[in-house]
Structure 1
Amino acid sequence: MALYVAAAAVLEGVENRQGSIKGLVYGRRFQNVKQLYALVCETQRYSVVLDAVIASAGLLRAEKKLRPHLAKVLVYELLLGRGFRGSGGRWKPLVARHQARLKAELARLKVHRSVSRNEDLLELASRPGPALQVPRFVRVNTLKTCSDDAIDYFKRQGFSYQGRASSLEDLRTLKGKHFLLDPLLPELLVFPAQTDLHEHPLYQAGHLILQDKASCLPAMLLAPPPGSHVIDACAAPGNKTSHVAALLKNQGKIFAFDLDAKRLASMATLLARAGVSCCELAEKDFLAVSPSDQRYRQVQYILLDPSCSGSGMLTRQLEEPGACAPSKKRLHALAGFQQRALCHALTFSSLQRLVYSTCSLCQEENEDVVRNALQNSAGTFRLVPVLPSWPHRGLGTFPGAEYCLRASPETTLTGGFFIAVLERKEVSSSASHTEAPGPELTASPTPKRKKKRRKLVAGASTLPGT
């Protein structure tokens, strides 16, 4: 019963704009986070349908002690979900005695709308779309293992390895227990969209990071060599930070900043699980970090992934209805902060390379911010052309904008994303590894060495499938 009460509380919080589904779910510290998150998302997805059925059946009029959000969760479970889990508590018999009427109203609604399936009742904006076609990307954490060992482990578990993908179509047609190696990132495995690895022992041990491909590009394009000093300006939740640490091989220093104490605490847990030892976390606004501070005099690389509208996130429309079309007022405020953060980052005296990224589709947060920052830098920095074969480029709003990258479910089979790589002009173009001829996979400027095979987990024979 605690599951349904928690789900109702999260739904009410979302409706009152107290936060996103994910933030509210994790804030409740419920024991089975995955189960709670799935229940809330599915209930929210069918919200309009459930409201109609509950109103037509007169459930809340008949049961005055039943709160609306709890009623919605219970009716979802009864009509559209898996049925009540466990005893269902005192609310199960209360709703169950209205079961016949509720089912009749659901059937009547289908007839009225000339549909036969529950899914067909969904509003157009809530129907499964391109998000369901995006594969499950899994980054192998090279601080703890290597791709070859991870692949061998999955093969022992009954998965069929199909080799390195040669096209997006290879990723799009993945089914069942087949998986591939991504054609661009050498540590990225690709599984069918429905693959759930949250309970997998390699994920729980920090050997795998569940991270969308577009989200892996910023660290890959920053490509700091081992021993570098790096700033991750807006670091939480930490996936990109752990990727930077893997590229550094834990040699060097990452200064990671974030203002949200809860997100920073979760990030610390993630980094510890991933085996990151070169990162210094600080609960601090990046804009308050002084470029003249001696601690940052060796910082040559900055990763800036600031707060944004999230309009490219696959789950955002579900979590925050209308987020795909943020208001002009909100966009103006976000772009103002992003502009200040990027201009501030470019004032660090030793900075040589910066990657600016957002999970937004909005020009105001992307091309406009980069263009203004370049103008304000008085010609000190330039955009670097990267990944020339990437199919989705920046909007042509200013000369060179095509050097930026965009991503979307339709064009790249990833979440929506924007990336720009800026470099100090005195850096010789011959030193820019992303411009050098040759395969795009060689993102790191350091010579590629043969990876040493390592055991996946200490005492790996105790894990399932070994």
Structure 2
Amino acid sequence: MALYATAASVLAGVEERRGSVRSLVYSSGFQNVKPLYALVCETRRFDTVLDAVITRAGLLRAEKKLRPHLAKVLVYELLLGKGFQGSGGGRWKALLDRHQARLKAELARLKVQRGVSCNEDLLEAGAKPGSAPQVPRYVRVNTLKTCSDDVVDYFKRKGFFYQGRASSLEDLRTLEGKHFLLDPLLPELLVFPAQTDLHEHPLYLAGHLLLQDKASCLPAMLLAPPPGSHVIDACAAPGNKTSHLAAFLKNQGKIFAFDLDAKRLASMATLLARAGVSCCELAEGDFLAVSPSDPRYAQVQYILLDPSCSGSGMLSRQLEEPAKAPSQERLRTLAGFQLRALCHALTFPALKRLVYSTCSLCQEENEDVVQRALEESSGAFRLAPTLPSWPHRGLKTFPGAEHCLRASPEATLTGGFFVAVIERAEVSSLASHAEALAQLISSPATRRKKRRKTAAGPGQHLLPCS
């Protein structure tokens, strides 16, 4: 199926609650998922603007065979995108050319009415009540291939303006133009204005950068397995968190990564290869079917569990109407699976530390699952106090739930997320782990020295560390 028709099909699927943008893109069968994902996300971002322009121009009345979702994709590409470059673009360009003058005139009239001068300003001026605020573009530097200093230097040479390490969320909130910052918490995370598009950037295509929301970076950072460790990534695709774990391991040790979806696993293999990950063993299979007594996993001390969830915290989902929130039946089904997966993970004999995370806002998938798993562990595990300065904590549904982390566009300028760090109760290394984590995010000079020592060899570098 051609790019634009596939994008329209994904938009329809999201609206009909058949899946998230990411899952529908990966299951579409379209060969090149990056431009498809970017096109769908951008079309959804400008949804209200496109609706207004299409309605005012009378496009659907004039082209009765043109379906609404396809019309949005085509008008986005004509007015706001890069032009018709995808397969089948010539046909659609010819159709839209007949209406181009009217569509452009309606877009210009909309800007005048809303008192703005550029397309991006229309988003804020015409936002739906209750719509999700924009969050910055977070870019994780892949330390398996390069280091933050060299990436910063590269962007500065390309005309970007580096403003150093952010001191507060307000610094991130006010980013604009070609300015960028270092995140105040994660030492390898760069922050750009929300509208920055890096999907075709050479550093991204070469695996030196990963486009990963800040909240999605928390699980690997809080698990922080040292080099040489054995780690399980229980529900691993699409692979950003797996590659982050590999960066902590410095490719020394072993990651056992499981996922049931063959297509997503194949895409993940491509991502990991591009990122230079060599310590990961992929397995198409159900984590619940993995035996904790299997000798292969006898040394597994760290587990990252990011199971399937409602996705209610995803920014794309937050643009939907409240009436389309997950049904109670679906939440019960998801929570049942999540609880089984978490309880199963806690039976691995050498396990010391586990991170449980979801991109859900629902208590049923978050605090309730963690509480029940801890109860079923009969005191063998406990919640670890985590990032005391983090502003958004777990709901106080049980004693200790405040140790959990929540994330949201309003409170943390990220997607909606939940993270709980669970440790074996008899492990006495909590203080040393916290100290190591504090050191990780402290001295810039120390970090620079460490990064330069551990970066990959010259043969892997588009941006070699000097």
Do the two structures share a fold, i.e. TM-score over 0.5? yes
1:292-317 Cα deviation digits (max 9, x unpaired): 11111111111111111111111233
Contact 1:253 1:279 in 2 (8 A): yes
CA shift, 1:347, in A, is 0.6
Q: Measured at CA, do residues 77 and 246 of structure 1 come closer, stay the same or move farther in structure 2, by a change above 3 Å?
A: closer
Query: Is structure 2 residue 84 aligned with structure 1 residue 85?
Result: yes
Q: Report the Cα distance in structure 1 between the residues aligned to 2:301 and 2:13, rounded to whole angstroms.
A: 42
- Aligned position for 1:357: 357
Q: Measured at CA, do residues 310 and 456 of structure 1 come closer, stay the same or move farther in structure 2, by a change above 3 Å?
A: farther
- Aligned position for 1:392: 392
- Aligned position for 1:232: 233
- Aligned position for 1:149: 150
**Which moved further from structure 2: 59-68 or 352-361?**
59-68
- Aligned position for 2:315: 314
Contact 1:353 1:423 in 2 (8 A): yes
Q: Report the Cα distance in structure 1 between the residues aligned to 2:274 and 2:233, rounded to whole angstroms.
A: 19
1:304-362 Cα deviation digits (max 9, x unpaired): 111111111112335x6659732211111111111111111111111111111111111
1:389-444 Cα deviation digits (max 9, x unpaired): 1111111111111111111122222211111111111111565412689657269x
Contact 1:236 1:258 in 2 (8 A): yes
Q: Report the Cα distance in structure 2 between the residues aligned to 1:96 and 1:309, rounded to whole angstroms.
A: 40
CA shift, 1:159, in A, is 2.3
**Which moved further from structure 2: 341-350 or 175-184?**
175-184
Q: How does 1:13-28 map to 2 (within 5 A)?
A: 13-15=13-15, 17-28=17-28
**Which letter does structure 1 place at the counterpart of 2:361?**
L
User: Of Structure 1 and Structure 2, which has the larger fraction of its residues in helix?
Assistant: 2
Q: Measured at CA, do residues 323 and 178 of structure 1 come closer, stay the same or move farther in structure 2, by a change above 3 Å?
A: farther
- Aligned position for 2:197: 196
- Aligned position for 1:347: 347
Q: How does 1:27-46 map to 2 (within 5 A)?
A: 27-28=27-28, 30=30, 33-44=33-44
Q: Report the Cα distance in structure 2 between the residues aligned to 1:42 and 1:275, rounded to whole angstroms.
A: 29
Q: Report the Cα distance in structure 1 between the residues aligned to 2:438 and 2:84, rounded to whole angstroms.
A: 56
Query: Is structure 2 residue 412 aligned with structure 1 residue 416?
Result: no
- Aligned position for 1:259: 260
- Aligned position for 1:139: 140
Q: Measured at CA, do residues 425 and 435 of structure 1 come closer, stay the same or move farther in structure 2, by a change above 3 Å?
A: farther
CA shift, 1:108, in A, is 11
Q: Report the Cα distance in structure 1 between the residues aligned to 2:234 and 2:241, rounded to whole angstroms.
A: 11
Percent of residue pairs identical: 77
CA shift, 1:50, in A, is 6.4
Query: Is structure 2 residue 382 aligned with structure 1 residue 382?
Result: yes
Q: Report the Cα distance in structure 2 between the residues aligned to 1:450 and 1:214, rounded to whole angstroms.
A: 24
CA shift, 1:167, in A, is 1.8
Q: Report the Cα distance in structure 1 between the residues aligned to 2:265 and 2:460, rounded to whole angstroms.
A: 30
CA shift, 1:370, in A, is 0.9
CA shift, 1:252, in A, is 0.8
Contact 1:149 1:456 in 2 (8 A): no
Query: Is structure 2 residue 6 aligned with structure 1 residue 6?
Result: yes
Q: Report the Cα distance in structure 1 between the residues aligned to 2:375 and 2:242, rounded to whole angstroms.
A: 29
CA shift, 1:291, in A, is 0.8
Alignment partner of 2:164: what SS?
A: strand
Contact 2:41 2:316 in 1 (8 A): no
Contact 1:110 1:121 in 2 (8 A): no
Q: How does 1:152-167 map to 2 (within 5 A)?
A: 152-167=153-168
Contact 2:48 2:126 in 1 (8 A): no
**Which moved further from structure 2: 348-357 or 46-55?**
46-55
1:267-303 Cα deviation digits (max 9, x unpaired): 1111111111111111111111111111111111111
Q: Report the Cα distance in structure 2 between the residues aligned to 1:62 and 1:303, rounded to whole angstroms.
A: 53
Q: Measured at CA, do residues 38 and 55 of structure 1 come closer, stay the same or move farther in structure 2, by a change above 3 Å?
A: same
- Aligned position for 1:181: 182
**Which letter does structure 2 place at the counterpart of 1:377?**
S
CA shift, 1:210, in A, is 1.4
1:120-175 Cα deviation digits (max 9, x unpaired): 5664355xx42x2x222221111111222222222222222222222222222222
1:10-54 Cα deviation digits (max 9, x unpaired): 334445554433344444565765554454445556667867887
CA shift, 1:196, in A, is 1.9
Contact 1:162 1:179 in 2 (8 A): yes
Q: How many residues align?
A: 453
CA shift, 1:265, in A, is 0.6
Q: Report the Cα distance in structure 2 between the residues aligned to 1:43 and 1:159, rounded to whole angstroms.
A: 26
Q: Measured at CA, do residues 333 and 64 of structure 1 come closer, stay the same or move farther in structure 2, by a change above 3 Å?
A: same
Q: Measured at CA, do residues 66 and 165 of structure 1 come closer, stay the same or move farther in structure 2, by a change above 3 Å?
A: closer
Which structure 2 segments of 5+ residues have no match?
117-121
Alignment partner of 1:10: what SS?
A: helix
Alignment partner of 1:452: what SS?
A: helix
Contact 2:21 2:316 in 1 (8 A): no
Q: How does 1:87-106 map to 2 (within 5 A)?
A: 89-90=90-91
- Aligned position for 2:210: 209
CA shift, 1:4, in A, is 3.6
**Which moved further from structure 2: 432-441 or 245-254?**
432-441
Alignment partner of 2:355: what SS?
A: strand
Q: Report the Cα distance in structure 2 between the residues aligned to 1:254 and 1:459, rounded to whole angstroms.
A: 21
Alignment partner of 1:255: what SS?
A: strand
Contact 1:221 1:434 in 2 (8 A): no
Q: Report the Cα distance in structure 2 between the residues aligned to 1:455 and 1:277, rounded to whole angstroms.
A: 12
Contact 1:144 1:274 in 2 (8 A): yes
CA shift, 1:254, in A, is 0.6
Q: Report the Cα distance in structure 2 between the residues aligned to 1:62 and 1:322, rounded to whole angstroms.
A: 33
1:350-386 Cα deviation digits (max 9, x unpaired): 1111111111111111111111111100100111111
Q: Report the Cα distance in structure 2 between the residues aligned to 1:299 and 1:362, rounded to whole angstroms.
A: 30
Contact 1:137 1:189 in 2 (8 A): yes
Contact 1:8 1:69 in 2 (8 A): yes
Which structure 1 segments of 5+ residues have no match?
none
Contact 1:311 1:324 in 2 (8 A): no
Which structure's CA Rg is the greater one?
1
Contact 1:149 1:455 in 2 (8 A): no
**Which moved further from structure 2: 292-301 or 14-23?**
14-23
Alignment partner of 1:295: what SS?
A: helix
Q: Report the Cα distance in structure 2 between the residues aligned to 1:336 and 1:276, rounded to whole angstroms.
A: 33
Alignment partner of 1:451: what SS?
A: helix
Q: Report the Cα distance in structure 2 between the residues aligned to 1:196 and 1:94, rounded to whole angstroms.
A: 28
RMSD, matched Cα:
3.8
- Aligned position for 2:119: none
Q: Measured at CA, do residues 456 and 26 of structure 1 come closer, stay the same or move farther in structure 2, by a change above 3 Å?
A: farther
Q: Measured at CA, do residues 423 and 435 of structure 1 come closer, stay the same or move farther in structure 2, by a change above 3 Å?
A: farther
TM-score for both structures, normalised by structure 2: 0.83
